[in-house]
A and B are shown apart, each in its own frame.
Chain A
């Protein structure tokens, strides 16, 4: 099992550009989460999903969108990137809200 896989690992975006951060898990987990972590800070929940077709806002959803069409994948879409979205993005998954497992993160810089 690969666990939770995030792509890309690094990305530089220009202000106003859009991109999708990919997250895939092969553990048949129904819960998936997206977080952002600013330098020296904790993790803030952006969006989460408790199953395919179900998504909900977290603590900091503005500027982001998600979809969950399959159990395995949970992509995060950034529209009109802004410098404030420079951060490290983490995806996680769990079974029924139990022990959560994290991907390696995507480091995004908006210039």
Chain B
């Protein structure tokens, strides 16, 4: 099956810093999504981004489907950005497969 790897696995930042999270996938996909799991376990959809670039406030994402990767940028990080960030890819058979995750901790 498809492999979805995220890097780095862990990231520690001070408030105000910027960061880039990466998602690599091993096969062609129909679409890609980014999620944030907050410290209480809730999963929030950040971006639906099969290709190209999208921005939402301090967050932006870019997917280069032909090269099988996606990037999530977080600028001016805040403590509320802490949690785990997952990418998920939709395969040709409609499975939605999650990546390994990046755990982000933002300190004041």
Cβ–Cβ < 8 Å partners of B94 in chain A: 31, 48, 50, 56, 97
Asked if B41 is an interface residue, CB under 8 A from chain A, the answer is: yes
Q: Is the CB of A35 within 8 A of B98?
A: yes
Known: A42-B86, A59-B1. A101 touches B45 (CB 8 A): yes
Question: Which of B44, B86, B90 is packed against the most chain A CB atoms within 10 Å?
Answer: B90
The answer to whether B30 touches A100, judged by C-beta atoms less than 8 angstroms apart, is no
- Asked if B59 lies at the interface with its beta carbon under 8 angstroms from chain A, I say no
Flag if B43 contacts A33 (CB, 8 Å): no
Question: How many chain A residues touch B (Cβ–Cβ < 8 Å)?
Answer: 24
Identify whether the interface residues of A are mostly helix, strand, loop, or mixed.
strand
Instruction: List the count of A-B residue pairs having beta carbons below 8 Å apart.
Output: 56
Q: Mark A42-61, 1 if CB is under 8 A from B, else 0.
A: 11110010100000101100
Bound together, the chains give a CA A73 to CA B30 distance in angstroms of 25
B interface residues, Cβ below 8 angstroms from A: 1, 30-31, 33, 35, 41-45, 48, 86, 88, 90, 93-101
21 A–B pairs (Cβ distance < 8 Å), ordered by A:
A31-B94, A45-B95, A45-B97, A45-B98, A48-B95, A48-B96, A56-B95, A58-B95, A59-B1, A59-B95, A59-B97, A90-B43, A98-B48, A100-B45, A100-B88, A101-B45, A102-B43, A102-B45, A104-B41, A104-B42, A105-B41
